[in-house]
Chains A and B, each alone.
Chain A
Amino acid sequence: MPSRSFLVLDCGSTTTKAVLIEEDDSKLSVRARTEAPTTVEKPVEDITLGVTMAVEQMETMVGRKLMKDGNFITPQREDEGVDFVGATCSAGGGLQILVAGVIKSMTAESAARAALGAGAIVSDVISIDDGRELYEKLTRIASIRPDMVLVSGGVDGGNVTSVVKLAEMLYAAGLRPRHGVGRIPVIFAGNRDAQSFVRDILSGVADTKMVENLRPLLETENIAPARQQIQETFMSHTMVQAPHYAQLADKMSVPVIPTPVAVGKAIEYIGESSNCRVMACDIGGATTDFFTYSEGRLMRTVSANLGMSYSICNVVAEAGIQAVQRFLPYPAEAHELSNTLANKMVRPTSLPATPAELAIEQAVARVALGLALKHHHEMNRGIRGMQRKRGLEDIFHQDPGTGPIVSSMNIDIIVGSGSVLSMAPRRSQAAAIMLDGLAPEGVTHLLLDSQFMLPQLGLISASYPEAAWRVLMDSALLRLGTVIAPVFAPCKSGTPLGKVYLLSDSGGRDEVMLRSGDLFALPCSGQTKIIVKPIGQVDVGAGPGRTYEGSTRGGAVGVILDGRGRPLPMPANEEAGIVEMLFQARALKTLSNEVLTDFARRGGLRI
């Protein structure tokens, strides 16, 4: 019998994952991992059933009873039960916000920006002057069942009357929460002098939250507090809304927490323990969460409109179907591709069963990562040309309003999580998705949440920090490899960029010239020194033209040398794009020879 055991669950929008961690002879390890579709659909419509299915699979795998009569057996005794049961949840899915402001081109527009910046889908933007009749606005408000409402209006010390009219309009329309249970959250980010009136009018029908005015002065926009509140409310209210959520929470040893909060704890630990700047992404079914850790601060964005199942068509709506076609290693008709993705949207728990369909999902993952990263940077960037109220995130900036918080060149470690990455059949596929989606610059180490356990480990870290972090570092995090991606001015393909030296502690030595357009991997495991001597003004992380020296411990893919340039250039045409992806697949060994040949044949190519 293990000396300690932990059963931790993550209820995602698409799948429910269960992980059993056991301690034997002071050594903690992952004993088993199972997953089942999250059961939020009629006629089942009970999140605890998906949990039960995942746990029953685990019982079969480990030969130990973990549940009895629908309840977990705790504490562990002889050959049954566990000491700790916990869960994270994001089953509520995406975020839809109704935005209301006084003036369409001012406060309403800023509020819409805040909502979009928070990664939401904006259901509608209502304003006093939007041209619609009152009854049309009321009908529209009543027919939408958003997850929350963001209200703005009036500069601080200014107009109160119009703001009150807006609140009364919302009251008259009858705000109702999506699930018909509880009160809909309403975030008021307008004239502070109107706060008491708004609270007075709406508190009977909504869960009102007051934040700083997002337009405190006409020429000043301050959307960070509203954005932050949206994210917090989303996580605490929307994400965890799932049928029978309360029954799930009752069965746990500790309160259920939103998945991004748990993942954030894990990323903080990685950053603190490694003393590095870390970026992390978690691509889920409904949302893509991004984290940046730098100098003791964690920043998190949840793109509630970008995911691999529920929101998969939104990825295409934002980026265009050509963006997905660009990352396919075979030709695909746009409308057939659209149908495939739409079928995934309406049957989100289905899995790709053919290499072609897997390639489609991995192409979408690349696009989703790129969009979510852009959103993450925009959330934390100042507003150009406008006086910007400094907030917490300003601590990072030397030059407010001109760039992201931490540039890609300065990121040391990227951690990838989410089924499409963690459960990719080949580790090289996960590396390729991160490489194309995130376009790391300079020298960056890629880590993978290999068993899709970051949420669970983040959860148990609150109660058992040492146990959580040992499993994280020993079992969960897998080194994919290190990317060397120089940044350089546009030049002809084949132009030498710099000499790369890999000197392993075991005496091995590799020396290659990296050229523009190159993409290949060198095997590397074990402690290895990296030296890159750029040519001209090429920058590999130490500054233009300066030699970089660092180290790596290699990984599953080794050291990836990426001379394609940044940003990633678009291929000249469809055939060029397919050739590029086929060469990538061969260079990084993301596909078997059989599949590679089949894809090439579809494109009328030989490889």
Chain B
Amino acid sequence: MRIFSPGLMTSPQTSLTRLRPVPIHGKVIVSEGEEVEANTVLGYYNPHGNITTLNLARELDISPFDVLDTLVKREGDVVFKGEVIARLRGLFSKREFRAPEDGVLERVSRYTGWVTIRGLPMPIHAGFPGVVEKIVPEEGVTLRLSGANIQGIFGIGGLVSGRLDVVPDSQFRVLDNEDVSSNYEGAVLVGGARVTPGYLQRAAKLGIRAVVTGGIHKRDLDQFLGYPLGVAVTGMEPGITVIITEGFGQLPMRSDIWAIVEEHKYMTVYASGSTQVRAGVIRPELFIPGPYRESVSVGEFSQEIAPGARVRVIRAPYFGKHGVIMSAPSLQTLPTESVVLSVQVRLDSGEVKTIPVANLEPAQGRQ
């Protein structure tokens, strides 16, 4: 009988794939198998802020259904500011409509007469050294990367990059306003067993790109967000990215995380707070890219819950403690009177406890 449990990856050297999205209406220009550097252009896309719509029918004082007949340019054509897009010739006069901005004539509606001009395409860079593993039509490019990867349990905010930095001597304490200074501007700042809303607000104000910490009180997260978070589906919140590695409460980060972070201090890293805790689970992560190596020992760990496996407890009353499984899973009666599949775990403190398999996750990497 095999039992597997999802675990959070913490690996000093691993190979993983990440989708590098080229947003809508984008075009990918690299090929599968191509090696890329961080500044390689993967493709071009049209940012949403760069869009203009105008009522061409009203401008020319005609019915929407007649708009198409007046076009000088076609959908998909590049147009430049001041260039004639449409022309209406009367018996004694001529009316012209000129592009208000540079862009691409994206759509002309024969129903409403509206014209959409999207700004000129912007490049999207790889951001990481790696290899193009797969082109995903209209979605982007999947890159295979090498580097160190740390997954958290929950986060907010999107993908950002910055200089990896650490709040010294902070593994076991609470970080507040006074712990963050302008020296950390532009950083992905790691530290603390818990952070306060004041810390996050000050960090955001000082231009810190992301905060990585062990824990946070749920009420503090809600206060920072400005609303009570109901479901763990995040990643679109504006502002600073936050990654919680252990859970809600005051919980020191795992020592293997500290080791990786100290080793890569001041390097450019990537942090994503996107979290989705339902089918198609997404966890927040901190990625420290290394030079791409074709063959690298994949730091995958066994998720199997079996005797000898090293585990972390993810629920009270031993939340956060580490240990080693001493027995095969079997049905046991808990203090709740429930009968559930459980194992004996020798905690690092030396105690042996009966813990439900569902309350264990594999612990990997250096401890």
| Measured CA separation A428–B172 after assembly (Å) | 43
| Measured CA separation A241–B276 after assembly (Å) | 14
Q: How far is the CB of B309 from chain A (nearest CB, A)?
A: 15
**B130 within 8 A of partner (CB):** no
Known: A57-B1, A93-B278, A347-B314. A43 touches B9 (CB 8 A): yes
**B122 within 8 A of partner (CB):** no
Greatest chain A CB density within 10 A among B24, B278, B280 is at B278
Q: How far is the CB of A595 from chain B (nearest CB, A)?
A: 8
Residues 298-337 of B, flagged 1 when their CB comes within 8 A of A and 0 if not, give 0010010000000000111101000000000000001111
**A172 within 8 A of partner (CB):** yes
Which residues on the A side are within 8 Å of B341 (C-beta)?
Answer: 57
Residues 48-61 of B, flagged 1 when their CB comes within 8 A of A and 0 if not, give 11110100000000
**A314 within 8 A of partner (CB):** yes
- In the complex the two chains form, is B280's CB within 8 Å of A345's CB? no
- In the complex the two chains form, is B6's CB within 8 Å of A41's CB? yes
Residues 228-265 of B, flagged 1 when their CB comes within 8 A of A and 0 if not, give 11111100100000000001110000000000000000
| Measured CA separation A592–B50 after assembly (Å) | 66
Which residues on the A side are within 8 Å of B70 (C-beta)?
Answer: none
Cβ-closest chain B residue relative to A315: B230
- In the complex the two chains form, is A355's CB within 8 Å of B231's CB? no
Cβ-closest chain A residue relative to B358: A351
- In the complex the two chains form, is B231's CB within 8 Å of A305's CB? yes
- 69-89 of chain B: CB within 8 A of chain A: none
Which residues on the B side are within 8 Å of A174 (C-beta)?
Answer: 23-25, 138
- 164-215 of chain A: CB within 8 A of chain B: 164-165, 168, 171-174, 176, 178-180, 197
Which of A42, A53, A165, A171 has a CB less than 8 Å from the CB of B6?
A: A42
| Measured CA separation A311–B229 after assembly (Å) | 10
Query: Of A103-111, A228-236, A332-340, which binds chain B?
Result: A332-340
**A343 within 8 A of partner (CB):** yes
Residues 333-366 of B, flagged 1 when their CB comes within 8 A of A and 0 if not, give 0111111110000000000000110110100000
Q: How far is the CB of B313 from chain A (nearest CB, A)?
A: 9
Cβ-closest chain A residue relative to B334: A353
**B96 within 8 A of partner (CB):** no
- In the complex the two chains form, is A335's CB within 8 Å of B279's CB? no
- 97-113 of chain B: CB within 8 A of chain A: 106-107, 109, 111-112
- 1-59 of chain B: CB within 8 A of chain A: 1-6, 9, 23-25, 48-51, 53
**B219 within 8 A of partner (CB):** yes
Which residues on the A side are within 8 Å of B283 (C-beta)?
Answer: 42
Query: Of A32-40, A268-276, A409-417, which binds chain B?
Result: A32-40
Q: How far is the CB of A320 from chain B (nearest CB, A)?
A: 9
Which of A44, A242, A343 has a CB less than 8 Å from the CB of B247?
A: A343
Q: How far is the CB of B212 from chain A (nearest CB, A)?
A: 16
Which of A52, A197, A242 has a CB less than 8 Å from the CB of B279?
A: A242
Q: How far is the CB of B208 from chain A (nearest CB, A)?
A: 22
Cβ-closest chain A residue relative to B3: A53
Which residues on the A side are within 8 Å of B231 (C-beta)?
Answer: 94, 121, 305, 310-311, 313-314, 345
How many chain B residues touch A (CB < 8 A): the figure is 69
- In the complex the two chains form, is B139's CB within 8 Å of A310's CB? no
Which of A121, A168, A351 has a CB less than 8 Å from the CB of B109?
A: A168
Cβ-closest chain A residue relative to B361: A347
- In the complex the two chains form, is B337's CB within 8 Å of A346's CB? no
| Measured CA separation A343–B247 after assembly (Å) | 6
- In the complex the two chains form, is A96's CB within 8 Å of B6's CB? no
- In the complex the two chains form, is A354's CB within 8 Å of B336's CB? yes
Which residues on the B side are within 8 Å of A243 (C-beta)?
Answer: 279-280
**A322 within 8 A of partner (CB):** no
Which of A91, A144, A311, A592 has a CB less than 8 Å from the CB of B230?
A: A311
**A349 within 8 A of partner (CB):** yes
Q: How far is the CB of A290 from chain B (nearest CB, A)?
A: 19
| Measured CA separation A354–B356 after assembly (Å) | 11
Residues 265-304 of B, flagged 1 when their CB comes within 8 A of A and 0 if not, give 0000000000101111101000000000000000010010
Which of A135, A171, A313 has a CB less than 8 Å from the CB of B48?
A: A135
- In the complex the two chains form, is A335's CB within 8 Å of B107's CB? no
Q: How far is the CB of B88 from chain A (nearest CB, A)?
A: 21
Residues 124-149 of A, flagged 1 when their CB comes within 8 A of B and 0 if not, give 00000000001100110011100000
Which residues on the A side are within 8 Å of B51 (C-beta)?
Answer: 134-135, 138, 172
Which residues on the B side are within 8 Å of A338 (C-beta)?
Answer: 217-219, 248
Which residues on the B side are within 8 Å of A44 (C-beta)?
Answer: 4, 6, 303
Which residues on the A side are within 8 Å of B114 (C-beta)?
Answer: 165, 168
- In the complex the two chains form, is A351's CB within 8 Å of B280's CB? no
Q: How far is the CB of B220 from chain A (nearest CB, A)?
A: 8
Which residues on the B side are within 8 Å of A139 (C-beta)?
Answer: 48-49
**A266 within 8 A of partner (CB):** no
Which residues on the A side are within 8 Å of B3 (C-beta)?
Answer: 36, 53
**B116 within 8 A of partner (CB):** yes
| Measured CA separation A352–B358 after assembly (Å) | 10
Which residues on the B side are within 8 Å of A355 (C-beta)?
Answer: 335-336
- In the complex the two chains form, is B230's CB within 8 Å of A313's CB? yes
**B153 within 8 A of partner (CB):** yes
**B199 within 8 A of partner (CB):** no
Which residues on the B side are within 8 Å of A91 (C-beta)?
Answer: 279
| Measured CA separation A433–B236 after assembly (Å) | 37
Which residues on the B side are within 8 Å of A334 (C-beta)?
Answer: 219
Which residues on the B side are within 8 Å of A173 (C-beta)?
Answer: 24, 48
Q: How far is the CB of B250 from chain A (nearest CB, A)?
A: 9
Q: How far is the CB of B352 from chain A (nearest CB, A)?
A: 15
**B128 within 8 A of partner (CB):** no
- In the complex the two chains form, is B280's CB within 8 Å of A43's CB? no
- In the complex the two chains form, is B1's CB within 8 Å of A56's CB? yes
Which of B5, B24, B337, B355 has a CB less than 8 Å from the CB of A425?
A: B337
- In the complex the two chains form, is A426's CB within 8 Å of B337's CB? yes
| Measured CA separation A121–B230 after assembly (Å) | 9
- In the complex the two chains form, is B278's CB within 8 Å of A425's CB? no
Cβ-closest chain A residue relative to B220: A335
- In the complex the two chains form, is A354's CB within 8 Å of B317's CB? yes
Which residues on the A side are within 8 Å of B154 (C-beta)?
Answer: 342, 346
- In the complex the two chains form, is B335's CB within 8 Å of A354's CB? yes
Which residues on the B side are within 8 Å of A47 (C-beta)?
Answer: 279
- 372-427 of chain A: CB within 8 A of chain B: 423, 425-426
**A60 within 8 A of partner (CB):** yes
Known: A53-B3, A339-B249, A354-B317. A168 touches B358 (CB 8 A): no
Which of A36, A96, A160 has a CB less than 8 Å from the CB of B233?
A: A96
- B contact set with A: CB distance below 8 Å: 1-6, 9, 23-25, 48-51, 53, 64, 106-107, 109, 111-112, 114, 116, 136, 138-139, 153-154, 217-219, 221, 228-233, 236, 247-249, 275, 277-281, 283, 300, 303, 314-317, 319, 334-341, 355-356, 358-359, 361
Name 8 A/B residue pairs within 8 A (Cβ), A-sorted. A43-B303, A44-B303, A168-B116, A242-B279, A317-B230, A342-B218, A353-B334, A354-B335
Nearest 5 Cβ contacts at the A-B interface: A174-B24, A93-B278, A314-B230, A425-B337, A338-B218
